[in-house]
Structure 1
Amino acid sequence: MGIQTAMDRITESGSIIEAMRAADDLAFEAGRDPGLRTLRVLSAAIAADDDLAAIAAVHALAEMNDEEAARLLSSLLSSPRPYIVEHAADALGRRPARPDAVGRLVRLVAEGGFAGMLAQHTLEKWSTGAAELLAVALETASTGTLPDDARARLVETMGLVRHPLVVRPLQTWATDAAAPTAVREAAVAALGQRGEPAAISTLEQIVAEGGVLGDLARLALIDAEPAPLVRDSGEGLTVAQLFLHADIDPSLSSAGSGDNGGIATLLVRLGDALVAEPAPVQRVLTLSRGTAAQAGPDLLRVAGGETGHVYGHIPLSSPPVGSAAAWPLRVSVRRGIRRLLRAAGRVDVLHLRMADVGSLAAADVARELGIPTVFTVAPDPHSVIASLERSGTLTRKDFGPVDLTEHFWFRTHLVQSLAASAAHSVFFPRPQLERDMRALVGIDMSSHPERHTVVAEGVDLEVVDRAVARARQVAAGDEPVGALAELAALLDALPAERRRLPLLVTVGRMHRIKGMATLVRAWADGPLADAANLLVIGGDLEHPSLDEREQLDHIRAALPPAQHAARGLLLTGHRSNDVAAEWLAAARFGLPGRAAPGGVYVCASLKEEFGLAILEAMATGLLVVAPDSGGPATYVDDDDTGFLTETADPAKLATATERALARAGGADDGAAERARDLVAERFTIQGMAAKLAPVYESVAHSEAELQRAAELLI
């Protein structure tokens, strides 16, 4: 193809996604022909005003076996454009260690954030060939005048360097009672990566001190064990699944708070369904965030061979951060995942679902321990990029600054990497699935179709049916109790005239992607507010995250809090899945004297890869309003069981909701039964488990055959 032709494909591409995919060819050509002209073409692109071409050129430099190219790449760490610095820090990890770049990478680590994570990753790769250089550089940098969190990051990075020089300073920081807590914790965790007797002795000393630091030291001693804890493997499979950014427990008590969205509910219900069947899955290990105090008992249960659905916590510092800000936790997340999977003994399959720091770290552990992965592939952030480009809010010339906050480039390549290394790929149903996967992600599903499976997510109909039965009884005259009594109290706070109206309901995380503020604005700005009250279930209202605070600010701008009750807006915060199910059922049947029957469920998400909450609403018998792209378009029968619309447009969202309310308030046309039947036939959690179990069995069987073949050659 040639370097100029490859660059032309990027600069002349019809879309941002096409340009990003063409970057792989540019990198290939740069590696194939690392000459002077290649260097000139890439340098010109970096200097120009096309952000996409500049970023692609930075990564292409890393593929050139050329000293001048390496020198240029290193110099980009001093670029005045922060996004170029970030991508240079990442790209340098594919080059041999360069002494002239070490100091600037160390500075990025100290500064933290996403760029700091990338710089730390690069230094870790370099530590095998330049350990002494890095040990000295990191110790020197960490002794200066630094904020506590910056020093802690440098100490953590020292723990990644395999050289005896780092043990002594780590011991000093770990045992210094005057040192900041964050620094001591980082040093303790880092000592767990060392096998030296001195490191073990220090950890044992700290365990004896007790407290949170003692809990961390106890975990670090487990990390230092040279061999995994092995359990009796038994006959069935052990499947691990992961979602880092949630507080997952069997009761789903935190559903809807922070990042505790539908994925948390799904993992709990799916794990239960997988082990409920007699075969082939004997144990499901669900991993999520937690504390050091939780992690210790979890390890004992996992290592003890407990079967069924078992939960394991990865200890992270509090307060928890959202997925977008969690990338700097890569090392501690990887350490926690590794600890749990080693304790589990044999893990047959690890199922990854998100292109986030959890999957990034888990993929590293899977490679180290030889565990095959299954990856659920979704065009995320690909669909978001395409949507923003269509709306004109993202262009190739301002891609760089946006990428600094959204990490689009890194995340799209992480999706490709996770899919390429997976033993099996799982896909959500979409109207044009094969086309979208090829155009957005670059996956040809017709190639090796035996390694691709389309699996619809599912809901627990027992939960829904119990909720529907309770709501029917209350609608027929029974006194509301439990969750319905709580909803009744909320509705009693509305003016009397508003207690004759039906409910619009939405459930989910309070995040801009979920469109909560867009829905409030669409409702408040037009006749919808006169036709129905709006019940918003989700978010931590007392201690909101940054994303939640942003949405709450937009909601307050659309309707001041002093007017919420008078206008019929109910912001309830997060509720458990069981409570939300009863409130959805109440929206359908009404609460006498408090809410009229004929409510509607509204999903205002910018995108829904599938949409569990929409399915739960349909199973309840509610008419739904949902996005006209992605998963919902495969199961919402437009103008029958619901209405599909362009949810990013408040006017179109309001119009679709008005139509849904009119239909719901009319004569019964059987839509509720048709929606419930559809869910029962195609979208139950039991059906999802039945589809996934053979995938896991096939992957485990193939891996066993590979292992036997390898053993014959040894």
Structure 2
Amino acid sequence: MGVQTALDAVLQAPSIVDAMHLADDLAFEAGRDPGVRTLRVLNTAIRGTDEVAAIAAVHALAEIYDEQAGRMLCALLSDPRATIREHATWALSSSLPRIEAMGRLIAAVADGGFGGMLAQRTLEVWSNDARDALSVGLEAALLGIAAPDARARLVETLGLVRGDVATRPLLLIAQDHAESLPARRAAIEALGQRAAQSGAITPVLEEILLEGDRIGAAARIALLDLEPTPQHSGDDTEGMTVAQMFLHADIDPTLAFAGAGDNGGIATLLVRLGDALVTDSAVGVQRVLTLSRGPLAQATSDLLDIGASDSGHMYARVPLADEPMPSAAAWPLRVTIRRGIRRVLRAAGHVDLLHLRMADVGSLAAADVARELGIPVVFTVAPDPHAVIRSLDLSGDLTRTDFGETDLREHFWFRTRLVQRLSSNAAHTVLFPRPELERDMKQLVGIDITSHPERHTIVAEGVDLVVTEDSVAEARSHAEGAAATPSLNALRDLLQGLPPERRVLPLIVSLGRLHRVKGMATLVETWAQSDLRERANLVIIGGDLDTPSLDEREQLERINAVVPATERISHGLLLAGHQPNNVAARWLAAARFGLPDLAAPHGAYVCASVKEEFGIALLEAMATGLTVVAPDGGGPATYVEQGRTGILTETWNREMLERAVGAALELAVLPGTERADAAHDMVSDNFTIQAMASALGPVYRHVVADEAELVREARGVL
């Protein structure tokens, strides 16, 4: 093809997603023809105004292994454009260590953020071959930097340098009472990873343990890390041990935090699925480990519980930052997360497989641990962020000339490459049902699921119908005159402030995180600036209203701009914040049947997400018999019957969203229960959590059997 032709293809691609896929061809051609003209062509693209092509050219430059290309790549670390600096930092991880780049990479680590994570990752790769230079560089940087958080990041990076050269300064920092708490903790945690020097390290950690408080707790965890890995064999157990995770949520069996921060549908799914997997003996899963974030003390306690049990659904916390952090901002926690995951999996003794579902920092770290421990990975593939990029591209909100600025916030390029890497390295991939699954996987993600169909399985997600049917029974009973249950009383309390004229209106309900991808602010804007406000009250369930995250704050600011907080109740807007899953289920049912004297029956459920790969909350709403509004792509398009059980629309288009919500309200008031029954039956026939567990059972058994065969074949060799 040639470099110029490959670059032309990137420049002329009909969409941004297509151009990102074609960047692989450009990199291949650059590596195949590493001449002076190739460097000139790439340099022209890097200096151009098409930021998609510029980023593609940076990564293509990394595929040329010669001195001149290396110098060009290092020079880009000083480029005035932040996005080019960031991608050059990432691309350098593919090259041999370059001394002239170390100072700027160390400075990026000190600055933190996503760019700091990339710089640290590159330096970690280089530490194999340049440990002395890197250790000296980091120690020198520590002499001139006083900010506690920056020092902690540098110390953490020093802890990634292999061998004895970094152990001495780590010991000194760990014992230095004049050092900041974050830096001391980083040094202590790093010492826990140096089992080869445990003889010198253990006495120091035991002394620090006596200090108590956070430092003592960190030393306790580090001492646990230094202990030998328990020697377990899976041969003496009757069933499999499966690990699953979502580290941006506080997951507990009661789902008390559902809807707060990043505690969305995935948290609900993992709790219900873990229970279902171990309940049905035919599935073949004996133990499920669900990993989520949590405090250090709880994490330590969980390790003991996991090590003592070989059956049931177990919960393990991975200690992250002192304060909850949204997933988009959690990339700098990569090393902490990796250590926490490794700690849990080692404590479990034997884990047959790890099921990953997100292209986030948790999966990035978990894949590293799985590779290190020899654990096969099952990965649920979804076109995320690919579908978001396409939607933004089609709407005109994302263009080639401003892609770099958006990429700095959303990390689209890195996340798409992470999906690609996780998919290609997985022992098996699980896919959500989509109307055009084969086409979308090929066009959006770049995966041809027909080439090795035995490695891909379509599995629909599911909901717990017991909770839903109990909710419907309670709401119907209250609508017919029975006393309200505590959950319904909570909704009544929320609605008490409505003006009398608004108490005869039905409820539009939306459940989920306060995040721009979920479209909550867009829904409020659409409702408030149309006649929908005169037709129904709007209830938003989700979000931490008391201590909102950055993402939640952005949505709340947009909401307050159209309906000031002091006027919400008079206008019929009710922000309920996050509610336990069982409570939210009762409120959905109440939207269908109404609340005497406070809300009319025949409400609707609206999912205004930019994209929805499947839609757990949508299924829960449909199971209650609510008419729904949903995105016209992804999973919902496979199960929402247009004009019968709901309305599919382009949710990012406010005019179309307004029409869809209006149509849903008209559909909901039609006489009879046929549509509600059809929605419920569709869920009960196809999308229960028990059916999901049954579908995953053969996938898990196949992966474990294949891995056992690989191990058997490798005996005597590995």
Closer/same/farther in 2, CA of residues 254 and 229 from structure 1, 3 Å limit: farther
Closer/same/farther in 2, CA of residues 255 and 597 from structure 1, 3 Å limit: same
Note the C-alpha offset of 1:330: 0.3
Are 2:468 and 2:585, in contact at CA under 8 Å, matched by a contact in 1? yes
Aligned residues: 714
Q: Distance in 2 between matches of 1:603 and 1:348?
A: 36
Range that drifts further, 31-40 or 504-513: 31-40
Are 2:629 and 2:646, in contact at CA under 8 Å, matched by a contact in 1? yes
Say which of 175, 197, 200 aligns to 1:198: 200
Q: Distance in 2 between matches of 1:35 and 1:269?
A: 56
Q: Distance in 2 between matches of 1:87 and 1:657?
A: 42
Say which of 468, 477, 481 aligns to 2:472: 468
Note if 1:427 corresponds to 2:431.
Answer: yes
| Per-residue Cα deviation, 1:490-529 (whole angstroms, up to 9, x for no partner) | 1112112211111111100000111111111111112111
* Secondary structure of 1:624's aligned partner: strand
The aligned residue for residue 41 of structure 1 is 41
The aligned residue for residue 12 of structure 2 is 12
Note the C-alpha offset of 1:264: 0.3
Note if 1:390 corresponds to 2:391.
Answer: no
Q: Distance in 1 between matches of 2:81 and 2:655?
A: 38
Note if 1:291 corresponds to 2:303.
Answer: no
Note the C-alpha offset of 1:227: 3.0
Are 1:229 and 1:303, in contact at CA under 8 Å, matched by a contact in 2? no
Are 1:138 and 1:158, in contact at CA under 8 Å, matched by a contact in 2? yes
* Secondary structure of 1:591's aligned partner: coil
Q: Distance in 2 between matches of 1:337 and 1:203?
A: 21
Note the C-alpha offset of 1:208: 2.1
Note the C-alpha offset of 1:168: 2.3
| Per-residue Cα deviation, 1:287-321 (whole angstroms, up to 9, x for no partner) | 01111101111111111134110001111122111
Q: Distance in 2 between matches of 1:60 and 1:222?
A: 43
Note the C-alpha offset of 1:335: 0.3
The aligned residue for residue 89 of structure 1 is 89
| Per-residue Cα deviation, 1:508-552 (whole angstroms, up to 9, x for no partner) | 000011111111111111211111111110000000000001100
Amino acid at match of 1:513: V
Note if 1:329 corresponds to 2:329.
Answer: no
Note the C-alpha offset of 1:229: 5.3
* Secondary structure of 1:493's aligned partner: coil
Q: Distance in 2 between matches of 1:555 and 1:114?
A: 28
The aligned residue for residue 221 of structure 2 is 219
Note if 1:360 corresponds to 2:364.
Answer: yes
* Secondary structure of 2:643's aligned partner: coil
Say which of 303, 306, 312 aligns to 1:308: 312
Matches for 1:392-431 after TM superposition, within 5 Å: 392-431=396-435
Matches for 1:214-253 after TM superposition, within 5 Å: 214-228=216-230, 230=232, 233-253=236-256
| Per-residue Cα deviation, 1:553-612 (whole angstroms, up to 9, x for no partner) | 111111111211111111110001100000011111111111111111111111101111
Are 2:474 and 2:485, in contact at CA under 8 Å, matched by a contact in 1? no
Note the C-alpha offset of 1:226: 4.0
Q: Distance in 1 between matches of 2:12 and 2:145?
A: 48
Q: Distance in 2 between matches of 1:166 and 1:201?
A: 18
Q: Distance in 2 between matches of 1:176 and 1:676?
A: 63
* Secondary structure of 2:711's aligned partner: helix
Please report the TM-score for the alignment, with normalisation by the length of structure 2.
Answer: 0.98
Give the RMSD, CA atoms, in angstroms: 1.2
Range that drifts further, 1-10 or 673-682: 1-10
Amino acid at match of 2:69: A
* Identity across matched positions, percent: 61
Are 1:230 and 1:343, in contact at CA under 8 Å, matched by a contact in 2? no
Matches for 1:564-713 after TM superposition, within 5 Å: 564-713=568-717
Are 2:229 and 2:347, in contact at CA under 8 Å, matched by a contact in 1? no
Are 1:231 and 1:303, in contact at CA under 8 Å, matched by a contact in 2? no
Range that drifts further, 701-710 or 186-195: 186-195
Amino acid at match of 1:425: T
Q: Distance in 2 between matches of 1:636 and 1:661?
A: 16
Q: Distance in 2 between matches of 1:105 and 1:272?
A: 45
* Secondary structure of 2:543's aligned partner: coil
Are 1:537 and 1:572, in contact at CA under 8 Å, matched by a contact in 2? yes
Q: Distance in 1 between matches of 2:395 and 2:532?
A: 26
Note if 1:555 corresponds to 2:559.
Answer: yes
Q: Distance in 2 between matches of 1:79 and 1:260?
A: 38
Are 1:258 and 1:510, in contact at CA under 8 Å, matched by a contact in 2? yes
The aligned residue for residue 520 of structure 1 is 524
Say which of 347, 362, 374 aligns to 2:351: 347
Note the C-alpha offset of 1:37: 1.6
Are 1:74 and 1:88, in contact at CA under 8 Å, matched by a contact in 2? yes
Note the C-alpha offset of 1:62: 1.3
Q: Distance in 1 between matches of 2:247 and 2:673?
A: 43
Note the C-alpha offset of 1:461: 0.1
Note the C-alpha offset of 1:632: 0.6
Are 1:229 and 1:342, in contact at CA under 8 Å, matched by a contact in 2? no
Note the C-alpha offset of 1:177: 2.3
* Secondary structure of 1:500's aligned partner: coil
Amino acid at match of 2:302: D
Q: Distance in 2 between matches of 1:584 and 1:535?
A: 10
Gaps of 5+ in 1: none
| Per-residue Cα deviation, 1:125-161 (whole angstroms, up to 9, x for no partner) | 0111110111110011012133111110000000000
| Per-residue Cα deviation, 1:142-196 (whole angstroms, up to 9, x for no partner) | 1213311111000000000013232222122222223221111111111111232
Q: Distance in 1 between matches of 2:568 and 2:285?
A: 49
* Secondary structure of 1:143's aligned partner: helix
The aligned residue for residue 152 of structure 1 is 152
Gaps of 5+ in 2: none
The aligned residue for residue 261 of structure 2 is 258
Q: Distance in 1 between matches of 2:404 and 2:590?
A: 47
Q: Distance in 1 between matches of 2:715 and 2:619?
A: 47
Q: Distance in 2 between matches of 1:327 and 1:448?
A: 32
The aligned residue for residue 184 of structure 1 is 184
Range that drifts further, 197-206 or 60-69: 197-206
Range that drifts further, 299-308 or 261-270: 299-308
The aligned residue for residue 105 of structure 1 is 105
* Secondary structure of 1:374's aligned partner: strand
Q: Distance in 2 between matches of 1:327 and 1:646?
A: 31
Q: Distance in 2 between matches of 1:508 and 1:525?
A: 22
* Secondary structure of 1:350's aligned partner: strand
Q: Distance in 2 between matches of 1:93 and 1:516?
A: 38
Q: Distance in 1 between matches of 2:660 and 2:46?
A: 46
Range that drifts further, 244-253 or 11-20: 11-20
* Secondary structure of 1:610's aligned partner: coil
Amino acid at match of 2:272: R
The aligned residue for residue 164 of structure 1 is 164
Range that drifts further, 100-109 or 7-16: 7-16
Note the C-alpha offset of 1:67: 0.8
Closer/same/farther in 2, CA of residues 144 and 648 from structure 1, 3 Å limit: same
The aligned residue for residue 209 of structure 1 is 211
The aligned residue for residue 278 of structure 2 is 275
The aligned residue for residue 52 of structure 1 is 52
Range that drifts further, 94-103 or 392-401: 392-401
